Structure 1
């Protein structure tokens, strides 16, 4: 079985750094999860006047108003078969601020018709983005949004999301950079940092709420 990223990249998948091939080659048949722990060097973006409105998205683990530097971070990845019978990967992100713990959750699957990764955002998956995938010269993974859909009713070409991840051999960890930008409002959120990851067997106690493991 090929992972959703292997299907999206085709032969380019083998140009990824071996550690990225291991991470993004994970499938539900392996019965493992990835636990990542690290720190975000910086989390910034969104004009001050707009930040209070982001608290609405915080309840859905979609976006949040807090900003800062050297923010502790955890990530859990699960590969599973979703309710539509599709291979999917769940992303459970947690950012630990001094007075709040914020989430940014998502689930990705490969869309055969769009020939792209579809990212369903938040606990309710009310927003989806279509992501094109590529590999950098250094063997890093590149994701760039093509379009955004709100509750399957409105299709937007903005804001745009870009994601880049590569493996730092000196640190033996993954470096991530995420940037969400609006043409009028500028950077809505940007975070980057270093994440150490380990593969763990899935047990009934750590199966995510979304999806059904095959």
Structure 2
């Protein structure tokens, strides 16, 4: 069984670094979850006067207003079949600020008709976007969002999210860089750092509702 990322990349999947293949090759048949822990060296973006307006999105674990350096971070990936029987991978990100814990969550599945990975953002999954995937020369993975919609009904001229990840053999960690940019407001969120990852046994009861933690 191929993962949703393997299906989207095709033969290009084999150009990923072996550790990247292991992470992005995760399927529901393996009964494993991924737990990542690390620090984001810097979280920045959005003019201070605009940040209070991000409170609404923060409630749905999409974007948040807090900024800082050396912010502790965790990531949980669950591969499961959703209520429609689609192979799905959840991304549950937590950022531990001094006075708040913020989330940036998503659930991704492969769309047969579009032949692309679709990203359902936030706890509600109301914001949806297609992802373009590309393997970089060093075996990293670059993902970029496009064609955002709200509740699969209305197209949204919203931010574009780009994610670049590669495996650092010296640190034995995944290095990630995420950039969320709005066409009018500019950079809404940018963070980068290193994450050490382990694969743990998982049962059906471990999977949170819709693959996203409340």
Structure 1 moving runs of 4+ over 6 Å: none
- Report how far residue 157 of structure 1 moved: 4.8
Q: Is the 8 A contact 1:147 1:158 kept in 2?
A: no
Q: Gaps spanning 5+ residues in structure 1: where?
A: none
Q: Does 1:161 align with 2:123?
A: no
1:84-128 residue CA offsets vs partner (Å, 9 max, x unmatched): 110000111100000000011110001121121100011110101
Matched, 1:187 2:187: yes
| 1:10 and 2:13 matched | no
Name the stretch that deviates more: 45-54 or 170-179: 45-54
Structure 1: distance between partners of 2:205 and 2:109: 23
* CA positional deviation for 1:206: 2.6
1:174 and 1:194 in contact (8 A); partners too:
yes
Q: Give the corresponding residue for 1:93.
A: 93
1:177 matched to 2:171? The reply is: no
TM-score, normalization by structure 2: 0.95
SS in 1 for 2:209: coil
- CA distance in structure 2 between the partners assigned to 1:62 and 1:28 by the alignment: 25
Aligned pairs for 1:32-111 within 5 A: 32-111=32-111
Q: Confirm whether residue 120 of structure 1 aligns to residue 120 of structure 2.
A: yes
Structure 2: where are the runs of 5+ without partners? Answer: none
CA contact (8 A) 1:146 1:157 kept: no
| CA distance in structure 2 between the partners assigned to 1:23 and 1:54 by the alignment | 31
Q: Could you say what secondary structure the match of 1:143 adopts?
A: strand
Judged with a 3 Å threshold, the aligned counterparts in structure 2 of structure 1 residues 117 and 52 are, in CA distance, closer, same or farther, namely same
Distance 2:51 2:151 in 1: 22
C-alpha separation in 2, matches of 1:114 and 1:157: 20
Name the SS of the counterpart of 1:29 in structure 2.
Answer: helix
Is it true that 1:196 corresponds to 2:185 in the alignment? no
Question: How many residues end up aligned between the 2 structures?
Answer: 211
d(CA) in 1 for partners of 2:156, 2:207: 33
CA distance in 1 between counterparts of 2:153 and 2:50 reads: 24
